[in-house]
Structures are given as structure tokens and as C-alpha cells.
Structure 1
Amino acid sequence: MEAFKTLTGIVAPVDRVNVDTDAIIPKQFLKRIERSGFGQFLFYEWRFDEAGNINPAFEPNKPRYQGASILISRANFGCGSSREHAPWAILDYGFKCVIAPSFADIFYNNCFKNGILPIKLSEEQVEELFQRTAEHEGYELTVSLEDKIITDNHGLHIAFDLDEHRRQFLLQGLDDIGLTLQHEDKISAYEAERAAQV
């Protein structure tokens, strides 16, 4: 998993509450057996019309948001089913950070396991980000996980809080497997000892 330290990127808005995992990645696209390739289906029923054409009314489809790596949304983001495909789709599309007032617990945990930084801010702070995103074309934020600070080029300075254990996982690029492999020498020694006893 790639380490997350500092990210500077364009911000894309999804101005909706209760964005559930079926909206993030609809169930008909869950047949793939690998983690990659889900980005093309992100927000599928909002990004495309019934004929499969780009829906210009869906805000992130606008040219000014192309290449965005930071997603902002409203409360209870990632609610619904526990599918891990939701963070896979978000990351595969190019988003490395999601900012919202609150997240569904399972989705929030799955973000950390997949190298995505979910940041909880107050409703007022998120509203300010929406306003700044609308006001400035190509609006960018810089997110420093090392300092737990969000800044922009227009005077914004927001501190955010994060569990230190999870912060270190992202800073070091460790998922559950990576954490286990830190003890590979001890695991190998234990297995060798057990094999010798058989």
C-alpha cells in the first residue's frame, strides 16, 4: 500500500447526504475478482444517463473537476452495505482523500485499509470547502497527514483530528498484511521451530 504523507490536489464536490455504497459502486459491477478496474463505475448511476452518456448535471463530471484527487461530501458518507468495493472504486478513480462531516463506520475503516484518508470536519467547515470549491475553478487543497492540517492558496487553515494508530498506518503505507509482514522474521522462526518439533 502506498504511504500517505502530503497530498495536494483538485477538489471535487458531491453535494449529497447519505451517499451509500450502492451509489458509490452499484451492485451489478461487483463481479470482478481483482481490486482494480472499479473506478470506471464510480457513482455510475449519477455520472451517466440511461443511454450511457456522461451526465453533465452531475457536478464532478464538469471539466473543472477532472483529475481531482480530493472528494468532499456531506454527512453519513459510505452508508449502506459493507462492500469494500466502495473504497476500491474511489481509489481506482483517483481520489486519495474524502472529506465529510461523518462516515459510516465500516466504510471509514475500509478506507484506511486501502490507503484512502477519510477526514471528518464539522458541518460548517465542510460547507466552507463547498463554497471555496464553487468560487475558485481548479480549487486545490493541501492535506498534510504528518501535521494534520488542511490548507489552500486562499488563506484556509484547518486542523483535523485522527486516531494516531490509523495515522501511522497511512504514513507508513501499512495495511493488515503489511503490518503482519513487519514480524516476518519472528513468524519464520516460529514456523521453523514448529516444523522441527514434528
Structure 2
Amino acid sequence: MHGTINCGLQIYVCEIFGADMWEESCTHAGLSGFSFETMLSYEDSLTERLLSALTHVLGRDRADLLEDFGTFVVSEERLKPVRKLLRFGGESYVEFLQSLEDVHDRAKIALPDLDVPRFELENHGGDRFTVHYSFEKLGFGAVFLGLLRGMADDYGALILIDHIPAKGHECDKDRFEISLMQLTVPDALQKPTALCL
């Protein structure tokens, strides 16, 4: 796993739960006093040990923890480059979704060693979309779920989203069914009312 992801996880835990919880989790994972370097790569097994320790120490479900992390990634100032990379895709949430297929190649230009998922977008007409998410590291779709929610907030979009995780079969992909909700303003608020003097 690329150090950028592990460093982001470290920032998230320290910011949300405190440095003591990070230290305790590292100790539980057999990584006492460990700190990740952004530009290095680490064995996936190390990240998995740390995630297992975090769920134990924090008493959180892995998927919930990773979803919160995904939301944090696009809202935390110190991780602003990730948000900028994603916002590069357009001025609206729909344009952001339409640009997801290019994220892998854009990220690889900046950081060739970074592990980046691939995305395919289906537009079902209107405001309904399906994002197919393919990543060689299973179980990380929850991060993307949090990221999708965080970006919706960033764009001021109201969405309903359903995450269908991959079942672990070869070539299987996570799916994200997204519906954009239209906010309607009651007629009484749209029409000016007569002012009687």
C-alpha cells in the first residue's frame, strides 16, 4: 500500500480519535512508535494488521471506519491535494461523476506508484447513475463510499447511494447506485406575496 494512503489513515485517526489511540493501535498491531512516510510503499499485510488493530482498539466496524476515512479524505485541509484532484473533473456533482473514469490516469501521472482504483460510469438517464469500482485490494470500496458522500457535500448535492460490495469473485466489482435528489421549493415560497398596507 502506498504511503500516501497510510499517512492519510494516520492523520485521520489522530485528528478524530487522538494520538493516544493511534499509538495504542500501532502497539496492538506490533508497530509501536511507527510512523508512515508519504512517498514510501508498504506491504499490504502491514496495512491490514493496522486496520485490524484499529477496529479492535476503536471498537468500530471496518466498513464504517473506512467510510468515515473516505469522507475525511475530501474534507481535511491537510489532504487537500486529493480533493483538488477530484474537483478537477468539473463544476457539478454530475460532472465529477463523469470524470471518474479519468481519475486513475490523472493520479498515476502525479504518483506513478500510487494504488488507484478504476471506475466505469453508467448513466441511466435523468439523475440516476451506477459507478463500477475495481480495485485489486478487496474491502476498500467503503473508502470510496465515504468519498462519494463527502464530494456530494462539497458540491452541495443531495444524493441517495447504495453500495453493493464485490463478492470476491475474479473480475467482480463494487457497484455504487447513485440517485441525485431534486429539491423542490413549495409554491408558497416561490411566489411573492402581496403586501397590504
Question: Is the shorter-chain TM-score for this pair beyond 0.5, marking a shared fold?
Answer: no
TM-score (norm: length of structure 1)? 0.32
The one of the two structures with greater contact order (alpha-carbon pairs below 8 A, sep at least 6) is 1
Taking structure 2 as the reference length, what is the TM-score of the superposition?
A: 0.32
If each structure's helix is expressed as a fraction of its own residues, which one has the higher value? 2
